[in-house]
């Protein structure tokens, strides 16, 4: 089922790109590349690793491993409207309805045998405890070896060293399963691509800061999280460049409609994954999502001479990994840079990590005169959606 | 005896370190009449453990504290640490990172965190770090662990009315007063003077928190003999520390805390999901007729593992009852019918 889903997506999007080869097609190229990862995950002779969100995919790619964070599957199932079937399966099997639906969907998919069997599983303590629990369950059910990257919240010398050492250990763990030692040359190339992608990302985000902003409510949806899957590849660089070109083109060709930007807002953490016209609703009100909280380059360039430590520092810098004070400080910085009028926090049900500090986030942004609309919604499970209520709010 | 208190909220904060810095431990239990307001600062779907502790902080329902030690044990706990700084900005706080996997590297890192904890607490108390002090507090802790072990052993073989409640009081004394006081109390228990009784259902109980001694009296009224327990407010709280001169003291502490029966949030990466088998083994080795799990609502580490625990117990045909609560005696009271029905079903 999922293989066909991704294959159809790859075929369909490829065709659309072919029909209009001269356009920039940023979004289509991006969807194509992500769908290709999906397709590979469901292809038998690939080396597959299911991972946590903050695992360094550039490193895994350079070691010949097709890897992805499991929440990606939760999001896919939600976007193709099948998540409720799997969520119900998980709940019927005793998994708590109070937990994050990304994980309930993945667990249900595992129970219904539609998660491809991995070669091994790598969890991470960032972003969340619940994510790590689902990775452990996955390793147990598939009877696969399990590795954990513990991401400390304190950004101290010892913490960086601890994470650096774990990343080194992780490469040995991967080698033990693939029989292929890490090639420093390949890693160096991946990091170069990563750095190149990061530089272009910075340009993209700087363009998005302009008034009026060349983005629209959908263009960079969850971009910062998902692009991490391919940033260490040539395709990643090309896609980042395509997005940058798209924004420049919009600016130069004056395609930006200022009436759609009466209010500039930030979207906190992740978007709603199922079909729900929130972006359109906001657009109709003249509200533009100019930034998603996780769309930022929070790290220094990767140092190919000191690769593991730079990767460790990068992981610790991601807002998910931070303490709330630093995370709020980061949001406040975005508020200034993007000249925000407000923010929306979906308050995804069951997310202790992000939603868990709803009150502190609201206050922190209010301190810089950015009101927050807390939606209280499940971003993955559409079963209890109260559309009318959300429209009113 | 030290009177200045250091608050803490998680069993991964070693009491011997608090005492070695010249402080008294004060575990902030989620037990309060304060009004429910933490949800505004955090969110209502966080576990009641964390929410009630924050309610206490917001309502000043605390003794005077010289500082707080938090452990990054789960998302809810790290969010509590964040919120505490907002609720009581004048408090000194420290957050220790706690690895989730029980590897050598994790133990090394935790050792450095425990070292940081002692250093920080000594700074707060304006005293020098003394390894001799730490050693002597560990020795006291080990004596207490041994005495508690004897009580657990007795509870595992016979049903002594009132003993499980007394045992819980001793653990609470350890957490909220001092190891020495708890030790003296433990020594007062004279098993020879207690007469075992028959007829109660031997049950192994596990979960995150169950700290009110009155709950254990209720259990007895409901025909239950707590033959063994695995709670971070129970048997997991006091564990002996093996150390010898050749080893770094902090490493010994860390390894003892990492290797003891883990809370659901700490994983054995060599055996994912090991918690399920451990619970089965423990239930079998104490000859429990049934197992009851208690967790607080919204606790991801436990709730995520309940299905695997249920499966493992089912495979061994061990009856299992799962209950969720909010840390209050009242919520336990609501479980009476289910617990009584469960113990009856066990046909003791
Ligand atoms: S939404 Fe929250 S709980 Fe769910 S995967 Fe993301 S960080 Fe984890
Ligand atoms: S382990 Fe469970 S009960 Fe304890 S703080 Fe975390 S979520 Fe709450």
Per-residue pLDDT reduced to its tens digit, B283-301: 999 999 999 999 999 999 9
Q: What is the mean pLDDT of residues B197-224?
A: 94
Task: Give the model's pLDDT for residue B2.
Answer: 83
Q: Give A139's contacts (C-beta < 8 A, 6+ positions apart).
A: A120, A121, A123, A145, A146, B272, B273
Whether A369 and chain B come into contact, CB under 8 Å, resolves to no
- pLDDT for position A3: 85
Q: For ligand 1, atom 2, which residue shows the shortest CA distance?
A: A351
A146 contact B CB<8A = yes
The whole-number average pLDDT for the span A286-295 is 97
User: Who lines ligand 2 at CB under 6 A?
Assistant: B 47, 49-50, 74, 76-77, 208, 265, 296, 299-302
Looking at A13-17, A20-24, A305-309, B28-32, which range is the least confident one? A20-24
pLDDT at A234 over 80: yes
Q: What is the overall mean pLDDT for chain A?
A: 95
- Distance, CA B48 to ligand 2 centroid (Å)? 8
What are the angstrom distances between the C-alpha of B142 and each of A11, A209, B20, B113, B234?
Answer: 66, 60, 14, 21, 16
pLDDT of the residue at B342: 94
Return d(Cα A329, Cα A339) in angstroms, integer: 15
Q: CA A48 to CA A57: how far, in whole Å?
A: 12
Closest residue of chain B to A130, computed from CA coordinates? B300
A128 Cα nearest atom in ligand 1: 8
A212 CA from centroid of ligand 1 (Å): 32
| Cβ(B285)–Cβ(B196) below 8 Å | no
| pLDDT band, very low/low/confident/very high, at A393 (cuts 50, 70, 90) | confident
Q: Which residue has the tokens 């001092």?
A: B178
Position A258 pLDDT exceeds 90: no
Q: In chain B, which residue's Cα lies nearest the Cα of A360?
A: B41
A265: DSSP letter: E
A–B CB contacts, 8 A cutoff, strictly below: 144
Q: How confident is the model at residue A5 (pLDDT cuts 50, 70, 90)?
A: confident
Percent of chain A with pLDDT over 70: 100
Q: Which residues pair with B325 in a beta bridge?
A: B296
Expressed in angstroms and rounded, the spacing between residue B302 Cα and the centre of ligand 2 is: 8
Q: Which residue of B has its CA nearest to A127?
A: B75
Verify whether ligand 1 is closer than 6 Å to residue A71 (CB atom): yes
Query: Which tops the pLDDT comparison, A155 or A243?
Result: A243
CB B297 within 8 A of CB B213: no
Alpha-carbon A175 to chain mean position: 26
Polymer length in residues for chain A: 393
Using a CB-CB cut-off of 8 Å, the residues of chain B touching A94 are: 306-307, 310
Q: Is B314 on the interface with A (CB under 8 A)?
A: no
Q: What is the pLDDT of residue A12?
A: 94
Residue B105 Cα distances to A148, A225, B110, B216, B264, angstroms: 11, 28, 9, 39, 20
pLDDT tens figures, A25-54: 899 999 999 999 999 999 888 899 999 999
pLDDT at residue B33 tops 70: yes
pLDDT of residue B158: 94
CB-based contact B298 A352, cutoff 8 Å: yes
Question: Which residues from chain A sit within 8 angstroms of residue B39, using beta carbons?
Answer: 359
Confidence of residue A264 (pLDDT cuts 50, 70, 90): very high
pLDDT over 90, % of chain A: 90
Please indicate whether, in this complex, the C-beta atoms of B40 and A323 are within 8 angstroms of each other. no
| pLDDT given for residue B348 in this prediction | 61
Q: Do B304 and A357 touch (CB under 8 A)?
A: no
For B5-71, give the DSSP string. EEEE-STTS-HHHHHHTT-EEEE--S---S-S-HHHHS-TTS-HHHHHHHHHHHTT-S--EEEEEEE
A295 Cβ partners below 8 Å, 6+ apart?
A: A205, A208, A220, A223, A224
* Record: contact A133-B300, CB cut-off 8 A: yes
B245 pLDDT band, cuts 50/70/90, is confident
Q: Is B83 on the interface with A (CB under 8 A)?
A: yes
* A373 pLDDT tier (thresholds 50, 70, 90): very high
DSSP H helical segments within chain B, as ranges?
15-20, 38-41, 48-58, 75-87, 104-124, 131-157, 163-176, 179-188, 213-221, 249-259, 274-285, 300-303, 306-315, 329-333, 336-345
Residue B314: is its pLDDT beyond 90? yes
For ligand 1, atom 3, the nearest C-alpha belongs to: A351
A293: Cβ–Cβ under 8 A, 6 or more apart, which residues? A266, A267, A268, A269, A319, A330, A331, A334
| Ligand 1 midpoint to CA A353 (Å) | 7
């Amino acid at each position: 089922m999922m293989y066909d889903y991704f294959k159809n997506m790859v075929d369909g999007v490829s065709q659309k790109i072919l029909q209009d080869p001269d356009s920039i097609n940023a979004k289509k190229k991006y969807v194509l590349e992500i769908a290709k990862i999906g397709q590979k995950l469901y292809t038998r002779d690939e080396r597959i690793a299911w991972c946590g969100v903050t695992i360094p995919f550039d490193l895994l790619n350079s070691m010949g491993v097709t890897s992805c964070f499991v929440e990606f599957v939760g999001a896919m199932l939600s976007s193709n409207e099948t998540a409720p079937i799997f969520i119900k399966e998980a709940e019927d099997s005793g998994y708590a309805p109070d937990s994050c639906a990304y994980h309930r969907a993945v667990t249900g998919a595992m129970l219904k045998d539609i998660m491809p069997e991995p070669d091994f599983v790598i969890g991470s303590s960032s972003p969340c405890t619940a994510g790590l629990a689902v990775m452990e369950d996955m390793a147990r059910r598939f009877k696969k070896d399990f590795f954990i990257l513990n991401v400390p919240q304190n950004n101290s010398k010892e913490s960086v060293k601890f994470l650096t050492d774990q990343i080194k250990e992780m490469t040995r763990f991967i080698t033990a399963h693939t029989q292929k030692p890490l090639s420093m040359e390949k890693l160096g190339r991946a990091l170069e691509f990563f750095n190149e992608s990061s530089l272009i990302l910075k340009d993209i985000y700087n363009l998005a800061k302009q008034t009026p902003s060349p983005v629209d409510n959908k263009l960079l949806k969850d971009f910062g999280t998902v692009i991490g899957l391919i940033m260490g590849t040539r395709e990643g660089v090309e896609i980042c460049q395509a997005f940058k070109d798209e924004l420049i083109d919009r600016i130069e060709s004056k395609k930006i409609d200022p009436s759609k930007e009466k209010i500039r807002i930030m979207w906190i953490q992740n978007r709603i994954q199922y079909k729900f016209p929130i972006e359109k609703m906001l657009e109709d009100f003249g509200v533009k999502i100019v930034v998603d909280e996780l769309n930022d380059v929070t790290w220094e360039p990767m140092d190919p001479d000191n690769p593991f430590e730079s990767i460790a520092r990068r992981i610790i810098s991601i807002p998910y990994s931070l303490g709330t004070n630093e995370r709020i400080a980061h949001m406040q910085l975005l508020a200034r840079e993007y000249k925000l009028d407000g923010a929306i926090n979906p308050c995804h049900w069951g997310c202790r990590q992000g939603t868990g500090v709803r009150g502190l986030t609201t206050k922190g942004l209010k301190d810089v005169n950015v009101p927050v609309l807390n939606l209280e919604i499940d971003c993955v499970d559409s079963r209890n959606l109260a559309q009318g209520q959300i429209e009113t709010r | 005896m030290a009177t200045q208190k250091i608050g803490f909220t998680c069993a991964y904060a070693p009491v011997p370190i608090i005492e070695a810095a010249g402080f008294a431990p004060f575990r902030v239990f989620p037990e309060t009449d304060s009004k429910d307001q933490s949800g505004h600062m955090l969110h209502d779907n966080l576990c009641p453990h964390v929410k009630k502790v924050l309610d206490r902080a917001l309502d000043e329902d605390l003794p005077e504290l010289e500082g707080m030690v938090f452990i990054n044990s789960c998302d809810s706990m790290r969010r509590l640490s964040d919120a505490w700084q907002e609720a009581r900005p004048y408090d000194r706080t420290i957050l220790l990172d706690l690895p989730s996997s029980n590897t050598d590297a994790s133990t090394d890192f935790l050792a450095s965190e425990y070292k940081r904890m002692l250093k920080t607490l000594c700074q707060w108390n304006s005293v020098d770090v003394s390894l001799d002090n730490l050693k002597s507090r560990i020795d006291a802790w080990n004596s207490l662990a041994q005495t508690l072990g004897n009580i657990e052993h007795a509870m595992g073989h016979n049903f002594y009315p009132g003993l499980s409640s007394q045992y819980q009081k001793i653990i609470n004394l350890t957490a909220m007063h001092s190891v020495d006081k708890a030790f003296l109390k433990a020594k007062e228990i004279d098993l020879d003077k207690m007469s075992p009784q028959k007829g109660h259902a031997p049950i192994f109980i596990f979960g995150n928190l169950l700290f009110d001694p009155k709950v254990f009296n209720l259990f007895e009224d409901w025909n239950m003999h707590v033959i063994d327990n695995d709670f971070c407010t129970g048997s997991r709280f006091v564990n002996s520390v093996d150390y010898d001169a050749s080893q770094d003291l902090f490493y010994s502490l860390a390894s003892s805390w990492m290797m003891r029966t883990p809370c659901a949030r700490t994983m054995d990466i060599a055996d994912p999901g090991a918690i399920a088998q451990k619970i089965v083994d423990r239930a079998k080795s104490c000859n429990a007729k049934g197992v009851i799990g208690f967790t607080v609502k919204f606790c991801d580490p436990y709730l995520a593992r309940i299905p695997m625990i249920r499966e493992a117990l089912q495979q061994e045909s061990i009856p299992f009852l799962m209950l969720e609560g909010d840390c209050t005696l009242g919520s336990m009271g609501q479980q009476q019918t289910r617990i009584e029905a469960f113990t009856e079903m066990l046909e003791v």
